[in-house]
Amino acid sequence: MVDITPADAVPPAEVAEVELYHPHSWWTKYVFSQDAKVIAIQYSATATAIGLVALVLSWLMRLQLGFPGTFDFITPEAYYQFITVHGMIMVIYLLTALFLGGFGNYLIPLMVGARDMVFPYVNMLSYWVYLLAVLVLVSSFFAPGGPTGAGWTLYPPQAIMTGTPGGQDWGIILMLSSLILFIIGFTMGGLNYVVTVLQGRTRGMTLMRLPLTVWGIFTATVMALLAFPALFVACVMMLLDRVLGTSFFMPAIVEMGQQLQHNGGSPILFQHLFWFFGHPEVYIVALPAFGIVSDLISTHARKNIFGYRMMVWAIIAIGALSFVVWAHHMYVSGMHPYFGFFFATTTLIIAIPTAIKVYNWVLTLWRGDIHLTIPMLFALAFIVTFVNGGLTGLFLGNVVVDVPLSDTMFVVAHFHMVMGVAPILVIFGAIYHWYPKVTGRMLDETLGRFHFWVTFLGAYLIFFPMHYLGLMGIPRRYAELTDMTIMTESAHHLNSFISIMAFIVGFAQMVFLFNLIWSIRHGRQAGGNPWRATTLEWQTPETPPAHGNFGKELPIVYRWAYDYSVPGAKQDFIPQNVPGSFGLGPSREPA
């Protein structure tokens, strides 16, 4: 009989904690991996795959709008299913998942100087539950009646009634179930991101030395943890209304001449719950983009981000304010009209910290040494589209101006510009920027420039003129724009033009995907720090970083993330882990 002493059961203290977690098989290394970097790639790949579905759906919608009556298979029923699933995928399953699950997982541990997320096992579960949520959503395409066509806002009562595709079939049930799963998965990941930023930072990495990317993702995650529960509750209640016949959101209703059994519920309560989540959601997508673009601009303009402290406070202020503006989505919902005064005021106040961020980005360019790399081009394009979309937000936020524009194509143009195009341009910039760290190789430059120009100019040409259709009064969510007196012949032509641009921009994304895959093997070798950047992820001993990120010893942080072009320094950047005052520290060439 062997005596088991505590010394045998507990590994000796000399073995680094991280050694115990190294994966030992192919399965635990690449599939059920607990490494945040692998989870990040899994999240990103899944989000991209489902995002492609949403892209195809947008093409189908544009076929119908641009060339009405030409494509018989796009019935109104199918059209509404397309817009619903397109919107839901883009907002939740692509943007939220990619920014937080993708970029968050990859960058947080590396940028704060941690070996991994604080709870790697829960982090792994987060991805698998997310994948399940995506599969449930996709399964609705194969369910009887197809996916729900209630619009991505899923407003009851129509969302669970027969007049809406999927309302009395499986569509809405699968949609709500998928959202519930997504929120469960996100919560597991989100807790990780927050705790890792708060507790997992390496020595010297004070909160005010964090790169803005981390600030953006961190604040967005805190917001998401507070906002998603409202959606969760709304989904559960609607599921009960649909499956058990409760009346949380259902008042007395006559459907096609038949009195339904519901009574006493409040449809508008759902809208409050939905937008209590839905508006912060805009910033859950925007704040990581704000953070990332700050770092892209700073790195590629070789200049510190202007007004770092102001940038941090602006992120926090926007995050907090975004919880008291939700009802600006409901100015014409029939809620008490006096709410309009309050929500218009809060909504326009949020423009101030947002504007400060824009000023600081362009002031970072001022007297910089601007390298027009592809990430920088995308960052510049982001500023253009974000300013454009942000300014039209001042129209829609200003209660009375919203009255004629609400529910028109103006809204569609606005939110696509500000939370579709702008964040996605940042995602592209970020991928061109960090791809060399993830794969060790650069993305192809020529394909990248083609991708940039077509995407930026194409997207602008799609969404800028669309505002004017809304100004004319063309409503959104119309499966056909026929028999409408306000719809002029030229407006139909404009719609055809927008559709053609949409196909071209979509095609450019195929070039991008090709580049992503091709460059894994054929891209130029990148080295450890091709952009000569200061943040910790570029200072890892290996590229791509190994499990545990930093080799034997964690880096120690001596400075903020923006020591570019420091007067007196030999190089035009000083990595965060280089000690010493300006220019005096021992230079450490990255691997």
In the range 476-515, which residues lie near another protein by CB under 8 A?
Answer: 477-481, 483-486, 488, 490-491, 494
- Can you name the residues that pair with 525 across neighbouring β-strands? 441
143 touching another protein, by CB under 8 A: no
Taking the mean position of all CA atoms in its chain, how far away is CA 254?
40
Q: Which stretch binds another protein (CB under 8 A): 30-38, 197-205, 358-366, 416-424?
A: 358-366
Please report, as residue ranges, which positions from 79 to 108 form the binding site for another protein (by CB under 8 A): 80
Positive or negative torsion for Cα 215, 221, 226, 231: positive
Q: Is residue 427 a contact residue for another protein (CB under 8 A)?
A: no
**Per-residue string for binding with another protein, 454-473, x by CB under 8 A?**
---x--x---xx--xx-xxx
CB-neighbour burial class of residue 47 (10 A; exposed 0-12, middle 13-18, buried 19+): buried
Q: Which stretch binds another protein (CB under 8 A): 11-19, 87-95, 360-368, 436-444?
A: 360-368
C-alpha to C-alpha distances, 200 to 40, 442, 470, 562, nearest whole angstrom: 18, 30, 48, 21
Q: How far is the CB of 476 from another protein (least distance, A)?
A: 8
| Part in contact with another protein (CB under 8 A); list of ranges 31-39, 124-132, 340-348, 545-553 | 340-348
DSSP H/E element including 363: helix 351-365
The torsion angle over the Cα atoms of residues 497, 499, 503 and 504, rounded to 10 degrees, is 20
Longest dimension (CA), the chain: 92
Structure tokens that stand for 420 in this block: 């579709």
Q: Look at phi and psi of residue 566 and say left if phi exceeds 0, alpha if psi is from -120 to 50, else beta.
A: beta
Residue from 40, 564, 575, 577 binding another protein (CB under 8 A) = 564
Least distance CB 581 / another protein (angstroms) = 13
Report the 10 Å Cβ neighbour count for 147: 29
Judged by CB under 8 A, the residue of 56, 141, 207, 369 near another protein is: 369
- Closer to another protein by CB, 56 or 403: give it: 403
Binding positions for another protein, 173-202, rule CB under 8 A: none
Q: Does residue 348 touch another protein according to CB under 8 A?
A: yes
* Residue 581 binds another protein, judged by CB under 8 A: no
Name the residue with tokens 């809060």.
346
CA 223, 228, 233, 237 dihedral sign is: positive
Contacts for 312 with CB less than 8 Å, ≥ 6 apart: 208, 212, 215
Q: Which of 392, 509, 519, 529 binds another protein (CB under 8 A)?
A: 392
- Does position 242 interact with another protein (CB under 8 A)? The reply is no
Q: Is 303 in the site for another protein (CB under 8 A)?
A: yes
Q: Could you tell me if 215 and 315 are in contact, meaning their C-beta atoms sit under 8 angstroms apart?
A: yes
Which residues are 255's β-sheet partners? 258
Total chain residues near another protein (CB under 8 A) = 116
Give the one residue of 368, 375, 458, 506 binding another protein; rule: CB under 8 A: 368
The residue within the footprint of another protein, chosen from 99, 103, 155, 277 (CB under 8 A), is 155
Binding mask 17-36 for another protein (x = CB under 8 A): --------------------
Q: Is 384 in the site for another protein (CB under 8 A)?
A: yes
Exactly one of 16, 45, 142, 572 binds another protein (CB under 8 A); which one? Answer: 572
Comparing CB distances to another protein, the nearer of 10 and 254 is 254
CA proximity to 335, closest of 277, 409, 275: 275
Q: How far is CA 114 from the centre of its chain?
A: 23
In the region spanning residues 259 to 288, those forming contacts with another protein, defined by CB under 8 A, are: 259, 263-268
